[in-house]
């Protein structure tokens, strides 16, 4: 809960509807045109960057390096929530080969098209692309070994639901590795009432 500018702790959902938040996120990310490598160069190892097509590097909008932290093993099935341009999905596909596969899930079909093109350029074949939302993952129960997400959970207006879905699709013993933004101190109210803050 966050202290609202006008007083009283209220969940963001009460002030900005869930669908409104989702639409803000969709619009913002649909408009993304990757033109910088700054985010990727800050977060990824040179060895990882060398395995990626330039487009995937330029469209990186994560906030960490969950693939490096996940300790992926050959044969594992990985789900990348909110895959965007596909950078983590592609890196995960490399890490779980041979025998494993990497699934990129995104709510924007245009992002999935771009990600699939990047994967083809990277020469990875053990990838699948799936249209859907993290609050209703279109996969069966206990079907993946590892769920990754990178700067995505914060964009959900229903974070508990997203975590419950991650839990549902993981096999017993499976793991979740999530990179995301946390804030410890209150920011000025004018910033907290922005769309970016409501999404986070």
Closest residue by Cα to residue 14 from 153, 157, 146: 157
Between CA 78 and CA 86, with CA 80 as vertex, the angle to 5 degrees is 115
Considering the complex, state which of residue 124 and residue 162 has its C-beta at the smaller distance from other proteins: 162
Residue 170 φ/ψ, nearest 5 degrees: -75, 145
Q: How far apart are CB 125 and other proteins at their closest, in Å?
A: 28
Considering the complex, state which of residue 124 and residue 134 has its C-beta at the smaller distance from other proteins: 134
Binding site for other proteins (CB under 8 A): 1, 24-25, 28-29, 31-32, 36, 38-39, 42-43, 61, 63-66, 68-70, 151, 153-155, 159-160, 163-164, 166-167, 170-185, 187-188, 190-191, 194-196, 199-200
Separation of CA 151 from chain center: 5
Q: How far apart are CB 99 and other proteins at their closest, in Å?
A: 21
Q: How far apart are CB 48 and other proteins at their closest, in Å?
A: 14
Considering the complex, state which of residue 131 and residue 187 has its C-beta at the smaller distance from other proteins: 187
Q: Which residues pair with 80 in a beta bridge?
A: 104, 148
Considering the complex, state which of residue 121 and residue 180 has its C-beta at the smaller distance from other proteins: 180
Cα 193 from Cα 35, distance rounded (Å): 29
Cα 13 from Cα 36, distance rounded (Å): 33
């Amino acid at each position: 809960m966050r202290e609202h500018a006008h007083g009283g702790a209220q969940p963001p959902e009460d002030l900005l509807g869930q669908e409104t938040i989702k639409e803000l996120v969709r619009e913002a990310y649909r408009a993304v045109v990757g033109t910088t490598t700054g985010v990727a160069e800050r977060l990824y190892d040179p060895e990882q960057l060398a395995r990626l097509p330039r487009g995937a590097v330029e469209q990186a909008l994560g906030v960490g390096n969950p693939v490096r932290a996940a300790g992926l093993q050959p044969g594992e099935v990985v789900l990348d929530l909110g895959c965007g341009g596909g950078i983590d999905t592609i890196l995960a596909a490399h890490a779980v080969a041979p025998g494993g596969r990497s699934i990129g899930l995104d709510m924007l079909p245009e992002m999935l098209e771009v990600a699939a093109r990047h994967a083809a350029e990277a020469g990875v074949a053990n990838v699948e692309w799936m249209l859907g939302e993290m609050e209703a993952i279109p996969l069966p129960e206990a079907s993946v070994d590892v769920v990754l997400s990178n700067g995505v959970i914060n964009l959900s207006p229903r974070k508990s639901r997203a975590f419950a879905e991650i839990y549902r699709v993981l096999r017993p013993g499976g793991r979740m590795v999530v990179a995301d933004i946390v804030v410890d101190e209150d920011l000025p109210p004018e910033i907290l009432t922005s769309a970016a803050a409501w999404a986070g």
